[in-house]
Amino acid sequence: MRTAYSVETVRAAERELMDRLPDGALMRRAAAGLAATAVRMLGWVYGARVLLLVGGGDNGGDALLAGALLARRGAAVTAVLLSPDRAHPGGLAALRAAGGSAGPAAAVSGRALVADLVLDGITGIGGSGGLRPEAAELLARLEARRPGAAEPAVLAVDLPSGVDADTGEVPGAAVRATATATFGAYKPGLLVDPGRQRAGTVRLVDIGLGPHLPPQPDLLALQHSDVARLLPLPSPESDKYRRGVVGVAAGSARYPGAAVLAVGGALRGGAGAVRYAGHAAEGVVAAHPETLVSGGAPREAGRVQSWVVGPGLGTGAEAERAVAQVLEADVPVLVDADGLRFLDPGQVRARRAPTLLTPHAGEAAALLDVAREAVESERLVSVRELARRYGATVLLKGSTTLVASGGRPVRVNPTGTGWLATAGSGDVLSGLAGSLLAAGLDALDAASVGAYLHGLAARLAPEPCTAVEVAAALPSAWQQVRATAGTD
Ligand SMILES: NC(=O)C1=CN([C@@H]2O[C@H](COP(=O)(O)OP(=O)(O)OC[C@H]3O[C@@H](n4cnc5c(N)ncnc54)[C@H](OP(=O)(O)O)[C@@H]3O)[C@@H](O)[C@H]2O)[C@@H](O)CC1
Ligand SMILES: [K+]
């Protein structure tokens, strides 16, 4: 399990640790880890040209101290100081003593900006808002390098400057890093888009913070072994009913495909049987003869342990009735796509059994009554707010799918891939997560395990994949998780 902590929590842990250590020890640990990462990225040190972008805080101090270590090993290190009067004095002295040079941003020539590696120490967890004009201008100069000159690798110190550490928001200009060396703990902004995309490969540098962090993180990402532990496996006493029956109320005469795909996901989620209720029964049976189908309303479909409602359901009165009937049932319910249009927060909050909502950014925006862009840029805030407003578990789909549920840490899905942005893939996920609900997983586990397997299946499917192929690859994803559990 990969855990991430908010700035406030990291700062509290750092204070506790710093009280027990000699002055500057923590920064020296951070700088040593940073320099080691830089060496690994460069592949050599002697003669390497290293450029440090140095802000006025401790993030710049880390860059300066790491620069000093690299200079001692023969790198040509130049520091560009964005706040020359406030640059970390100890770091600056160490760099100069090691043979490195430093000067204010305004005085740096274009030639000096040519480097093999850039260390971004403009801001870390103390930064706020988009980068200020002087820093943004420096980045623009770096990016507009001489035609034909190789693009330097960029190593972000703690996090890419301009990325909000707590949310992953990128409110203005920001560094785009090849890699990030982060200290003590992952910050949520490194795992959530759009910040995640700015961070490149993230390496956690141990500075001894672990014992001072609380047991509950703010954000976490499951890994193979966590998912393997949660997968519902049949026992010797299992029969199809004990393994759980998932009901799928999806599709319509106009959109029969959504029903076929949702059932396709549901059949591969560990439940023992799938009941289908709706107007696409013929297509569903043709594609999946093992489905128990009825052409009527969900109420008449027979007993289930969970419901999936919404994909391709349409927006008419009949669709609205199907959603209402499903929400009245005292079993876990997953609401997706068209079904989300009919939700009343009070009705959802009043349910005794869990409700799982699975909107994409556009649907989440409609539920929150904000613009889609607001959800895209503030994904973490949005998913938490939706979960709070509806008293439900909410899976917000996207390049980094997030799942929020009450006061528990938000889960970020690490297996996503751009190939999932294909028609019908969300329907497969609904069926899959609904099936995991029927098999007995709680809503947070069902949603995050569903997203994990779904992303992995898309990676295993032929490229470029269709939604049908994602569903077909689910057993391989499931097997891979089970086979490699414990080795991640
Ligand atoms: N604490 C510890 O034990 C350890 C901490 N460590 C390191 O310390 C880092 C935190 O250091 P920090 O608190 O000094 O803040 P930091 O990230 O350098 O930013 C503040 C500076 O940025 C400026 N600034 C702000 N916003 C800006 C913007 N938009 N655009 C441009 N500039 C902006 C701001 O200016 P001001 O607002 O003061 O005018 C100020 O000069 C942390 O990330 C880690 O790297 C490690 O050594 C391990 C031990
Ligand atoms: K930084």
Residue 361 is encoded by which pair of tokens?
Answer: 């950014």
* Mutational pocket test of ligand 1: of 59, 62, 92, the residue with most ligand atoms within 8 Å of the beta carbon: 59
| Residue 10 CA, ligand 1 centroid: distance in Å | 13
- Which residues sit with their C-beta closer than 6 Å to ligand 1? 14, 18, 26-27, 30, 55-60, 62, 83, 86, 122-129, 131-132, 135, 157-158, 183, 207
pLDDT per residue over 429-441, tens digit each?
999 999 999 999 9
Q: Which of 63, 68, 65 is nearest to 99 (CA)?
A: 68
- The protein residue with its alpha carbon nearest to ligand 1, atom 21, reads 57
Verify that 371 and 480 share a domain, yes or no.
yes
Q: Are residues 130 and 231 in the same domain?
A: no
- Locate 454 and state its tokens: 């779904």
Q: Using one digit for the tens of pLDDT, what is the confidence trace for 83-122?
A: 999 999 999 999 999 999 999 998 888 888 889 999 999 9
Of all ligands present, the nearest one to the C-alpha of 160 is: 2
User: What single-letter amino acid sits at 71?
Assistant: A
Q: How far is the CA of 201 from the centre of ligand 1 (A)?
A: 21
Decide which of 160, 188, 219 is a domain's last residue: 219
User: Are 237 and 193 part of one and the same domain?
Assistant: no
What confidence tier does 484 reach under pLDDT thresholds 50, 70, 90? confident
Sign of CA dihedral 118, 44, 145, 101: positive
Ligand found nearest the CA of 61: 1
Write the pLDDT tens digit of every residue in 10-29: 999 999 999 999 999 999 99
Q: Yes or no: say if 234 and 424 are a contact pair by the CB < 8 Å rule.
A: no
439-448 pLDDT, tens per residue? 999 999 999 9
Q: Is 158 among the annotated ligand-binding positions?
A: yes
212 is in an annotated binding site: no
Residues 153, 236, single domain; the answer is: no
Cα–Cα distance measured from residue 32 to residue 11, given in angstroms and rounded to the nearest whole number: 20
Of all protein residues, the one whose alpha carbon is nearest to atom 13 of ligand 1 is 126
Look at residue 263 and tell me whether its pLDDT is greater than 70.
yes
* CATH number of the domain encompassing residue 259: 3.40.1190.20
Task: Looking at the structure, tell me whether residues 214 and 231 fall in a common domain.
Answer: no
> Does residue 64 sit in the same domain as residue 87?
yes
Has 488 been labeled as part of a binding site? no
- Give the total number of structural domains in the chain: 2
pLDDT for 488 equals: 61
Ligand 2 centroid to residue 46 C-alpha, Å: 24
Least-confidence region, from 120-124, 233-237, 245-249, 452-456: 233-237
Which of 219, 241, 258 is the last residue before a domain boundary?
Answer: 219
Question: Is there a cis peptide before residue 256, judged by omega within 30 degrees of 0?
Answer: no
Which of 27, 37, 80, 123 gets mutated to test ligand 1 (max ligand atoms within 8 A of its CB)?
Answer: 123
Are residues 295 and 209 part of one domain?
Answer: no
Residue 345 shares a structural domain with residue 400: yes
226 and 393 Cβ atoms separated by less than 8 Å:
no
Ligand 1 centre distance from Cα of residue 445 (Å): 36
Q: How far apart are the CA of 180 and the centre of ligand 2, in A?
A: 8
If asked whether residues 355 and 280 sit together in one domain, one would say: yes
Given a cut of 80, whether residue 381 has pLDDT beyond it is yes
pLDDT classification of 241: cutoffs 50, 70, 90:
confident
Instruction: State the ligand closest to the CA atom of 207.
Output: 1
* 126 known member of a binding site: yes
pLDDT band at residue 485, thresholds of 50, 70 and 90? Answer: low
d(CA 368, CA 29) in angstroms, rounded, equals 44
User: Looking at ligand 1, which residue's alpha carbon is closest to its atom 11?
Assistant: 58
The percentage of the chain sitting over the pLDDT mark of 90, rounded to a whole number, equals 90
Answer yes or no: is 128 a known binding residue: yes
Do 160 and 228 share a domain, yes or no? no
Nearest partner of 448 among 473, 472, 481, 422, judged by Cα: 481
Residue percentage of the chain with pLDDT more than 70: 98
- Ligand located closest to 12 CA: 1
Read off the pLDDT band of 144 (50, 70, 90): confident
pLDDT in tens, 42-91: 999 999 999 999 999 999 999 999 999 999 999 999 999 999 999 999 99
pTM over 0.90: yes
Question: Are 125 and 232 found together in one domain?
Answer: no
Annotated binding-site residue? 401 = yes
Residue 487's pLDDT band (cuts 50, 70, 90): low
Task: State the burial class of residue 171 (Cβ atoms within 10 Å of its Cβ: 0-12, 13-18, 19+).
Answer: middle
- 83 CA: nearest ligand 1 atom: 41
Cα R_g (the chain), whole angstroms: 26
**What is the Å distance from ligand 1's center to 55 Cα?**
7
Contact (CB, 8 A) for 397 and 358: yes
Q: Are residues 102 and 247 in the same domain?
A: no
End-of-domain residue from the set 192, 219, 246? 219
Look at residue 486 and tell me whether its pLDDT is greater than 70: no
CATH number at residue 120: 3.40.50.10260
> What is the rounded average pLDDT of the residues 360-376?
97
Instruction: Give me the residue label for tokens 């925006």.
Output: 365
Q: Residue 379: its pLDDT value, please? A: 95
**Per-residue three-class SS string for the chain:** CEEECCHHHHHHHHHHHHCCCCCCHHHHHHHHHHHHHHHHHHCCCCCCEEEEEECCCHHHHHHHHHHHHHHHCCCEEEEEECCCCCCCHHHHHHHHHCCCEEEEHHHCCCHHHCCCEEEEECCCCCCCCCCCHHHHHHHHHHHCCCCCCCCCEEEEECCCCCCCCCCCCCCCCCCCCCEEEEECCECHHHHCCCHHHHHCEEEEECCCCHHHCCCCCCEEECCHHHHHHHCCCCCCCCCCCCCCEEEEECCCCCCHHHHHHHHHHHCCCCCCEEEEECCCHHHHHHHCCCCEEECCCHHHCCCCCEEEECCCCCCCHHHHHHHHHHHHCCCCEEECHHHHHHCCHHHHHHCCCCEEECCCHHHHHHHHCCCHHHHHHCHHHHHHHHHHHHCCEEEECCCCCEEEECCCCEEECCCCCHHHCCCCHHHHHHHHHHHHHHCCCCHHHHHHHHHHHHHHHHHHCCCCCCHHHHHHHHHHHHHHHHHHCCCC
**Is 60 annotated as ligand-binding?**
yes
User: In whole angstroms, what is the distance from residue 203 CA to residue 186 CA?
Assistant: 9
CA of 165 to the centre of ligand 1 (A): 11
Find the range with the poorest average confidence among 127-131, 244-248, 286-290, 414-418: 414-418
Using CB atoms within 10 Å of the CB of residue 369, give its burial: 0 to 12 exposed, 13 to 18 middle, 19+ buried.
exposed
Q: Which residue is it, tokens 């007993």? A: 303
Q: Which domain holds residue 125?
A: 2-219
